[in-house]
């Protein structure tokens, strides 16, 4: 089997387009994801914002319309919205929990780690030997 052309109907009659390859992109519909609002083949959103920290772009946002350029400008608009939402202060207290639940490395502790890594690399003619073990990093930082 091979493709020689595509015939489609218009109000004025059939039109034939000669071709050797057909790629269909008709009937696209976003797939539903558990916990994400979904309706009529799209993710339910307001200007790309779905809920909380969830955003959507492209056809999943507005349905199968537009071209690549449409999707690029659509994505740029959603990124601008995301950045705007990030820079708007929120008083959720989450950062305090996050900081309290983990050890935070100070500048002076990082400098101690950096000095140790550089010192380990010098005998081998390397700029540093990177320490990847979390507990060794904490030890070098003075914890």
Q: Which letter, b or e, does each residue of 110-132 get, where b requires 16 or more Cβ atoms within 10 Å of its Cβ?
A: eeebeebbeeeeeeeeeeeeeee
Mean pLDDT, range 75-103, rounded to an integer: 77
Same domain assignment for residues 43 and 71: yes
Domain count across the chain:
2
CATH at 48: 3.40.50.720
pTM of the model: 0.45
Q: What is the pLDDT of residues 100-120, one digit of tens each?
A: 777 788 899 999 999 999 999
Is pLDDT above 70 for 92? no
Q: Which domain holds residue 121?
A: 94-140
Same domain assignment for residues 81 and 99: no
Same domain assignment for residues 19 and 80: yes
The angle formed by the CA atoms of residues 86, 87 and 88, to the nearest 5 degrees, is: 90
Same domain assignment for residues 30 and 55: yes
């Amino acid at each position: 089997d091979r493709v020689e052309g595509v015939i489609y109907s218009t109000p004025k009659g059939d039109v034939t387009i000669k071709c050797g390859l057909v790629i269909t992109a008709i009937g696209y519909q976003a797939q539903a994801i558990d916990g994400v609002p979904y309706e009529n083949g799209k993710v339910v959103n307001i200007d790309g914002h779905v809920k909380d920290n969830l955003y959507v772009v492209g056809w999943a946002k507005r349905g199968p319309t537009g071209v690549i350029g449409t999707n690029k400008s659509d994505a740029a608009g959603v990124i601008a919205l995301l950045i705007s939402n990030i820079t708007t202060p929120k008083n959720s207290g989450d950062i305090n929990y996050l900081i309290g639940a983990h050890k935070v490395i100070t500048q002076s502790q990082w400098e101690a780690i950096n000095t140790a890594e550089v010192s380990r690399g010098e005998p081998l003619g390397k700029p540093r030997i990177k320490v990847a073990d979390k507990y060794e990093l904490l030890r070098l930082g003075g914890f």
